[in-house]
Structure 1
Amino acid sequence: MKLGVCSVTFRDKSPQEIIDLTKQAALDAIEWGADTHVPAGDMQTAQEIGEATRNQGLEISSYGSYYRLADYGDNEEAFQEVLQSAEVLGAPAIRVWAGVTGSDKASDDYRGLVVQDARRVADLASKHGISIHLEFHGNTLTDTKESARQLMEEIDHDNVFTYWQPPNSVSIKERLASIEAVKPWITNVHIFYWYSFEDRLNLAEGQTEWLQYLREIFQDGKERYVLMEFVKYDEEEQFLEDAQTLHELKQTLKPSL
């Protein structure tokens, strides 16, 4: 288990400030986001931030893109910029979104377009040694465990995986069931603790709950990044406290890792 942070946790901070905080928290890696810090197509920024990250002894876990599968128009060509940016950044993985429509509203034809585009971008990325990872998120085709599993089975590509994060507004039992449904494809994990984005809590309050999730995910012994995403009040002090909780979770799980 490697520990890291998503740069979107601090959209208002500079890349160097995020690097400094990551080192202060003794984390291993950063997922650089495309929305603020490493815009797709800005190769100079990607190169500079990639070098700065590695020069400080940190890893780049992934490139957090906002590319949405099958959202066509100019978007189909836009993946080339996403891919080039990830390569220049030195990211081994690209996070993408499973479309723009929730599973309850998606037609079979639409699902087919998402599957087709997933395979397309996976083929393109594989030529550069980069893997594709779906965001596990509401209002996309990974918004339920059933739809997420069906989607991964339909894509059926050895270069496509999925992240995992706790679905909102469901029980711990249901969250554990969602892990079980997509476990063969789970790579990185976004860790946070809240009931709603506006009501974010200390990670320590969810430590026992998260121990259940991580124990279930890491049963297979695969290496993954567990990435902090958002903290209460967006405060540095809370980030450092949550990072300490994350270290404690890893230490508790260490015998089984």
Structure 2
Amino acid sequence: MKLSIFTVVTPDLTPEEMGAAAKAAGIDGIEWRFKETAQDVKDEKPSFWRNNLCTIDTSTTDAELERYIRIAQDNGLQTISVTPYLQAGDLKSTERVLQVAQKLGASMIRVGVPSYDGTKHFNELYALEQNYLKGVEPLAKKYGVKCLIETHHNTITPSVSSAYRLVSSFDPNHIGVLFDPGNMVHEGFENFRMGMELLGPYLAHVHIKNTGWKKTEVREDGSQGWTSYWEPNLQGIVNWRQVLTDLKAVGYDGYLGVEDFSGLYESKELLKKYSEETRAILASI
């Protein structure tokens, strides 16, 4: 297994600074965050989801993409993914991301999945996603870039089984699943090894982060409230030694992408810590 960085977690570094830091930490691959940055947030302090300096803007031209190709080459890194925030059903934007991914030599992108908040029936959202993936699959084949849906809380795919239900009728050469155990602690927990076995060839990528739960205020009915929150990779509920052991057991040999949102470490330290911790676990199993 190889190590990658999703650049959402290095918001204060320029792409060049991130590339050098990833090289120094022994990281193998890059997942570029692909998102427009609103003009009114560009004076803000860098942050994961707003003024993120380590982001490819959606309006970037093909000529400007050469910058990101050069960063990867200069630091011995493989661009493995372009990771956007697509809406389910938006095939035009999906094709644009695939074009960028192909230009950068990436092997995969993340595609949209509907959010779920109870205001629309699940079956309606499921049908929307199915129709979307039917349009995505030929585009993935055309550009030679696999399209992944992520196990993510507050969507219709919080668990592996819900993601598998969506992708199982598609070709795993073109459609796959981004397996994110940290997200599944917030919502969608299933035995991680079981999920890997269920996915089989659809298991295309893994994100490494972690989550905890803590008590909050007592609810009006007197019951105890709880909330989830981000933890450092080795300090949350996910037992990453066991998960990596299970990934090895099922034959997974792809990338492990760091996505630590705990805020405990500054960006360069985060990459170094992630590499040291994860390589130590991999060496021990």
- TM-score (norm: length of structure 1): 0.84
Greater percentage in helix: 1
Q: Displacement, 1:169?
A: 3.7
Letter in structure 2 aligned against 1:38? I
| Structure 2 partner of 1:223 | 253
Paired residues of 1:83 and 1:125 also in contact (CA < 8 A): yes
Aligned-partner Cα distance in 1 for 2:229–2:155: 23
Structure-1 separation of matches of 2:197 and 2:118: 19
Contact 1:137 1:143 in 2 (8 A): yes
Deviates further, 147-156 or 126-135: 147-156
Alpha-carbon distance change, 21 to 152 in structure 1, aligned in 2, over 3 angstroms: same
CA contact (8 A) 1:193 1:201 kept: yes
- Report the AA paired with residue 98 of structure 2: L
Structure 1 residues 100-249: aligned runs within 5 Å: 100-101=115-116, 106-155=121-170, 158-166=173-181, 167-169=184-186, 174-195=191-212, 199-205=229-235, 209-233=239-263, 234-235=265-266, 236-249=268-281
Matched residue of 1:195: which SS? Answer: strand
Is residue 140–residue 147 contact of structure 2 (8 Å, CA) maintained in 1?
A: yes
- Could you say what the CA RMSD is over the residues aligned between the two structures, in angstroms? 2.8
Q: Which stretches in structure 1 are left out of the alignment for 5+ residues?
A: none
Kindly provide the CA deviation profile for residues 179-235 of structure 1, in whole angstroms up to 9, marking residues without a partner as x.
444344111110012326985433343598112112222323242100101253251
Q: Specify the alignment match of 1:63 in structure 2.
A: 82
Bigger CA radius of gyration? 2
- Checking the alignment, whether the CA contact within 8 Å between 2:88 and 2:111 is kept in structure 1 is yes
5 Å-filtered alignment, 1:24-35, equals 24-35=24-35
Q: 2:100: which partner in 1?
A: 85
Q: Is there any run of 5+ residues in structure 2 with no aligned partner, and where?
A: 36-51, 214-226
Q: State the percentage of identical aligned residues.
A: 23
* Residue 39 (structure 1) aligned to one of 43, 51, 57: 57
Shift of 1:24: 1.3
Q: 1:42 offset after TM fit, Å?
A: 1.3
Question: How many correspondences in the alignment?
Answer: 249
Distance 1:224 1:92 in 2: 11
| TM superposition shift of 1:11 | 2.0
1: CA distance, partners of 2:124 / 2:189: 33
